[in-house]
Every structure is written in structure tokens, then in C-alpha cells.
Copies of this chain bind each other. A is one copy, B any other.
Amino acid sequence: MKYPNSINKTYTKINVSHSNRGMNLEDMLNKSNKYYLDNDMAVIYKKPTPIGIVDVSYNDHHKVIKKAYFKEQSTLDYNGLYKGKYIEFDAKETLSKTSFPLSNIHEHQTKQIRAVIKHQGIAFLLIKMNEKYFILTGEDYLSFIDNNDRKSIPYSYIEEKGYIVEEKYNPPLDYLKGLENIYYKGE
């Protein structure tokens, strides 16, 4: 009764954090993509993890994989379509507070980012760092690696160039709002 505003704020905060508690970055993005799809806003999916199958058997006419191994994705993990534009991105996180290690991004992923941009698509990285979520455009990422010999991107570069994506209940990460500001201005 004494501090209704604070109590309300605290209540809301607890509620929000509880709802997405335990969700990792991938869960948050899958939930966001489902929200976009269910609300007919965009058509974006995580690609299945590629595997190499070694052995398959049949169980009551159902194929069962008995032995397989994980392969590397040739592309970024997420792709799809938003307002007539091709979108492709990958989600990355680091526990480092000062710099993002470039070893997180494989060479074929960098190649893919270049190819998508060249063919007039949107490519970006969604980076979790210091408990914040950033969109780093493919253009800003390439500009850094093409002009630096460093093995990591300083946090200051990500803070300066990146676009903050707010965490909320649903969609947990509303990155389309970020893309609107970057790529769809005036549309």
C-alpha cells in the first residue's frame, strides 16, 4: 500500500523474467519466429542441423537412425522472408565482457554473409554479450574484419555500431523492430 508504483514495477519485472527464465538464445529466437509466423508478420525458420547418416534400420516400417554425426551448416542458422526481403542471420554469444572472439564465426559463414549482401539480401549477426542483445549488420561485421587484424571485435565497436534488441515476454527478442530501423526506413 505504501509504494504501489514500485510494487507494480517489481511485479511486472518478476513476471517478465520468470516467463523467459531458462530460455537460451536459441529458444528465444525460435519463440520469436513462431510469434512472427503465428501473427503473419514474417516467415523465418531456424534451419535443421545437418547430419551425416552412417546407419539406418527399420522398426515397424519406420526408419530409425542408428548412427549419425553432426555436420557443419554451410549457411547461417536462420533464414526467411520479411516484407519482400530475404533475411539470413546467425545467433552468437560470448561470456567475455570486453571483446567478441572472431573464432565464433566460421569462414564459410563469413563467405555466406558476403554472398547474401552481394545478392541484395539482409545478413546480420544477433549477438548476446554483457546480458544485452545486439543486431550487428553484415556490412558492419565485414567492415570490421576487412580493416582489422584483430582476433576479436571490441565490445565498444558492437555498442557503437550495433542496434539493441529489447528483451520482452513475447516475442522474447523483437529483432524485426530492429531491422525496421536499419533496413526498412521509409517503407
Contacts and interface: CB of A to CB of B under 8 A. Distances in A.
A66 to B, nearest CB: 7
Contacts of A64: 67-69
Contacts of A69: 62-65
Interface in A37-56: 37, 40, 42-43, 45, 47-51
A110 interface: no
Interface of A: 37, 40, 42-43, 45, 47-51, 62-70, 73-75, 79-86, 88, 112, 115-116, 118-121
**Copy number of this protein in the oligomer?**
2
B119 A83 contact: yes
A65 B85 CA distance: 36
Contacts of A85: 84, 86
Pick the 9 closest A-B CB pairs, nearest first: A84-B120, A48-B50, A65-B68, A81-B86, A86-B86, A48-B48, A81-B121, A81-B119, A43-B115
A66 B66 contact: yes
B83 A120 contact: yes
A48 B45 contact: no
A151 to B, nearest CB: 24
14 contacts: A40-B118, A43-B116, A43-B121, A51-B51, A51-B68, A63-B70, A64-B69, A65-B65, A66-B67, A68-B68, A83-B119, A83-B120, A84-B85, A84-B119
